[in-house]
Amino acid sequence: MIKALRGMKDILESDESAKFQYFVKTATAVAERYGFEYIETPKLEETALFKRSVGESSDIVGKEMYQFIDKGENDVCLRPEGTAGVVRAFVEKKLDRIDQTRRFFYHGSMFRYERPQKGRLREFHQFGCEVFGESNVLEDANLIIMLSTIFNTLGISHQIQINSLGCPKCIPAYREKLVAFLDSKKEHLCDDCLRRKETNPIRALDCKTITCAEQYVDAPFITDNLCDECAADFERLKTLLDHNNIAYTVNKKLVRGLDYYTKTAFEFVSDEIGAQSAIAGGGRYDRLVEFLEGRPTPAIGFAIGIERIFDLIKVPEGSRQGIYLGAMDEAAIDTVFAKAQALRRNHTVTVDYSARGLKGHLKQADKAEARICAVIGETERLAGTIWVKDLETKEEQTVALDAFQGMLA
RNA sequence: GUGGGUAUAGCUCAGUCGGUUAGAGCACCAGUUUGUGGCACUGGGGGUCGUGGGUUCGAACCCCAUUACCCACCCCA
């Protein structure tokens, strides 16, 4: 038997596909109310796009990409995240030359070649939003509030963590300061932290090794080393969230995994879903558009990991709906089939193609969760009528076939 | 890439000390009711015990290998 590849999942049955659609529908509705427009970008992109945006130093680019040479000898890979492609599209369409704020949302597959575990797959799905051309920190607050609204609408409890990662004016100096600090402690640090010192030093501060954590109590934090503008924006963001009743905590150790983030960084976490607790993450990336050869354009975005919240989604109970049509003898099947096509102009209709007893049809209709079970037996066929039963109210009646559609309205 | 766990019916799982025909619940099908669903009762179908080798008179059970899945680390949504 051929099975799905490791880390790839089918979404069907057990309400899984219903959950997926319910989530996308809900998130889309909220995003549209905030003025976001749908964007669809390719799942396959030139490898260079991700090397330049996500960053060579990240694990994602370093070892998790589905990368290959295609038949035209292009170096390509399946997208490991969504932002890079949207930015590429934004620049390619030359939207960076128009002085206008643009807001996009998307959802779709992302691919990372990782060892699967709870909440982590090789093909997973994200719902993401990206805003271009707005540097005002009000937009940072706006996005966090919108994201919170999406989760609240879905009834998903969450905690919000925020941090500021600084900008090109303050990050280099802070980074030097931190590396110097780590160097001074290097005899006491674990191998992972020594590696992080080189690749992404801020991440070391979040090390779970007790001996490392002890070393970091008096470590310099980015939040205390921001330039005036970044510090002011961060203060304003906190005030805005307070004024809009958004509960959050400042996590000075919060780093985003991708190199392109600047200033505001945030993460939504859940304590109900296992070790991979981040259900959404995002932040500002004011430099990325110019990294990808666009005109300098401030930008901010986030992505929700759909599989991460799958267990938390509760689809509202649906009631019986739709019509089930069946025939009790072969002679009536064609009539039923044709009737179904007509009814489908404004009804959901399923047709059973085999002749069976009334009981059989009722059972089928019940399993299909149809509201109406309508059957043509010999009596009805000869009389030009159809027997109709409402499976919820249990009312039944026999009507002229021609009058059937009218009585449904 | 590293570590741990698991693998028996469509699903969730029992299976004793290695011993005869491998079980249960749910699901499915049929009957109780020859034109009335859900509920109930009765009956039924369904298994390469992940795969390959080994030990043994005898293996679902013990040993080795292998694959897959799960969980965790790393990292990330």
Residue A171 pLDDT: 86
Which residues 261-320 of chain A have a CB under 7 Å from nucleic chain B?
267, 274-281, 303-305, 307-308, 320
- Could you check: is the Cβ of residue A6 within 7 Å of any atom of nucleic acid strand B? yes
Instruction: Determine the nucleotide nearest to A82 by Cα–C1' distance.
Output: B77
pTM equals: 0.91
Instruction: Determine the nucleotide nearest to A257 by Cα–C1' distance.
Output: B76
Q: Mind giving me the DSSP string for A71-90?
A: TT--EEEE-SSSHHHHHHHH
- Could you check: is the Cβ of residue A252 within 7 Å of any atom of nucleic acid strand B? no
- Could you check: is the Cβ of residue A56 within 7 Å of any atom of nucleic acid strand B? no
Which structural domains are found in chain A, ordered by start?
Answer: 16-169+244-312 (3.30.930.10), 171-225 (no CATH), 323-408 (3.40.50.800)
C-alpha torsion sign, points A191, A224, A282, A159: positive
Which residues 97-116 of chain A have a CB under 7 Å from nucleic chain B?
112, 114-116
Q: Give CA–CA dist A199/A182, Å, rounded.
A: 13
Residue A14 pLDDT: 61
Residue A22 pLDDT: 93
Separation in Å: B54 C1' and A123 CA: 39
- Could you check: is the Cβ of residue A258 within 7 Å of any atom of nucleic acid strand B? yes
- Could you check: is the Cβ of residue A59 within 7 Å of any atom of nucleic acid strand B? yes
Q: What is the CA radius of gyration of chain A?
A: 28
- Rounded to whole angstroms, what are the CA distances from A184 to A32, A217, A349? 51, 14, 72
Residues in chain A predicted with pLDDT less than 70, given as ranges, are 14
The distance in angstroms from the start CA to the end CA of chain A is 47
Separation in Å: B64 C1' and A1 CA: 26
What ipTM does the predicted assembly reach? 0.85
- Could you check: is the Cβ of residue A39 within 7 Å of any atom of nucleic acid strand B? no
- Could you check: is the Cβ of residue A352 within 7 Å of any atom of nucleic acid strand B? no
Residue A257 pLDDT: 77
Q: Give CA–CA dist A251/A224, Å, rounded.
A: 12
What pairing do the DSSP bridges indicate for beta strands A102-111 and A278-284? unpaired
> Which chain B positions come under 7 Å from a protein C-beta?
1-3, 28-30, 33-38, 68-77
Which residues 326-345 of chain A have a CB under 7 Å from nucleic chain B?
328
- DSSP secondary structure code for residue A253 in this structure: T
- Could you check: is the Cβ of residue A81 within 7 Å of any atom of nucleic acid strand B? yes
Instruction: Determine the nucleotide nearest to A279 by Cα–C1' distance.
Output: B77
Nearest-CA residue to the C1' of B76? Answer: A257
For the stretch A197-205, contacts whose Cβ atoms lie closer than 8 Å and that sit 24 or more positions apart, written own/partner, are: A199/A57, A200/A57, A200/A58, A200/A255, A201/A175, A202/A165, A202/A175, A202/A178, A202/A253, A202/A255, A203/A255, A205/A252, A205/A253
- Could you check: is the Cβ of residue A380 within 7 Å of any atom of nucleic acid strand B? yes
Separation in Å: B70 C1' and A50 CA: 31
**A375 DSSP β-pair partners:** A326, A387
Which residues 141-200 of chain A have a CB under 7 Å from nucleic chain B?
192, 196, 200
Residue A181, both tokens? 């600090």
Residue A233 pLDDT: 95
Q: Mind giving me the DSSP string for A299-341?
A: EEEEEEETGGGGGG--PPPPPP-SEEEEESSGGGHHHHHHHHH
Strand ordering across the sheet containing A44-46: A44-46, A75-78, A67-69
Contacts of A140 (CB under 8 A, 6+ apart): A233, A237, A263, A264, A284, A300
